[in-house]
Structure 1
Amino acid sequence: MPALTPTDFTGQNAVDGYGPGFFRIAGKVHQGAQVVEADRVTPWGGLDDPGPLLALAGRVDVLFLGLGAQVGYAPRDLAAQLDALGVRVEAMASATAARTYNVTLSEGRRVACALIPV
């Protein structure tokens, strides 16, 4: 299982690692796709389940969208809906999204990541 670089995230949900079908977040294993914020982790049904992403409005400014092992684009309609709510979306592979989320979280910014397992 690949591990991510340790940083002090006391009281915050950092992504510690990942593997086939799961993510380790703040020391706990979560199966399947997840939406991760500093103070909560929410199971997510993937790109066909926009509800948990739309619920980020007002809580985060940037969402790092992890598309599994693939690099791709956020669906246009989803990106437009989130943009209208004031949430900027950056799509990338899940490993990159997790690392970018951790770094940005450590800077004290209002961020989240939505991760599809690899």
Structure 2
Amino acid sequence: MHLNEIDYGNARPIEGYGPGFFRIAGEVYQGALLVTADETESWGGFDDIATLLTFAGQVDVLFIGNGPLMGPIPKAFRDSLEEAGIGIEPMATDAACRTFNVLLSEGRRVAAALLPM
């Protein structure tokens, strides 16, 4: 089996996650986060749509990590992002982290809004 090293360039991958925390580019963060290739900041959850709307035209897809299990996205939240042209992919947080990293390594314009596990 041949393994390839992943090169993220200057991007900041999600290196780990666990109950209530994320490790991104060597730093540990607590609580819900918004992660892009070069930034990590706190996110207020589904009530914080305004922060996500700033990504209109800047990302191809926004992964929504719903915590430990895949769950429904509030309709108003989904509608607001879709009206702004932001495609979303809801999934469990662990899957959102892994998928974010794969697309990040491909140089894609991605972001992840993550609720902790």
* TM-score (structure 2 length as normaliser): 0.90
Deviations 1:40-59 (A, max 9, x none): 11111111221221121121
* 1:27-38 correspondence runs (5 A): 27-38=26-37
Deviation at 1:20, TM superposition (A): 1.1
* 1:1-118 correspondence runs (5 A): 7-118=6-117
Instruction: Work out the CA distance in 2 between the residues paired with 1:74 and 1:62.
Output: 15
Please report the RMSD computed on the Cα atoms of aligned residues, expressed in angstroms.
Answer: 1.3
Any gaps of 5 or more consecutive residues in structure 1? 1-5
Instruction: Work out the CA distance in 2 between the residues paired with 1:20 and 1:91.
Output: 19
Instruction: Work out the CA distance in 2 between the residues paired with 1:26 and 1:10.
Output: 12
- Structure 2 counterpart of 1:87, which letter? I
Partner of 1:3: none
Contact 1:65 1:97 in 2 (8 A): yes
Share of identical aligned residues, percent?
51
Any gaps of 5 or more consecutive residues in structure 2? none
21-30 or 48-57: bigger deviation: 48-57
Instruction: Work out the CA distance in 2 between the residues paired with 1:42 and 1:101.
Output: 16
Aligned length: 113
* TM-score (structure 1 length as normaliser): 0.89
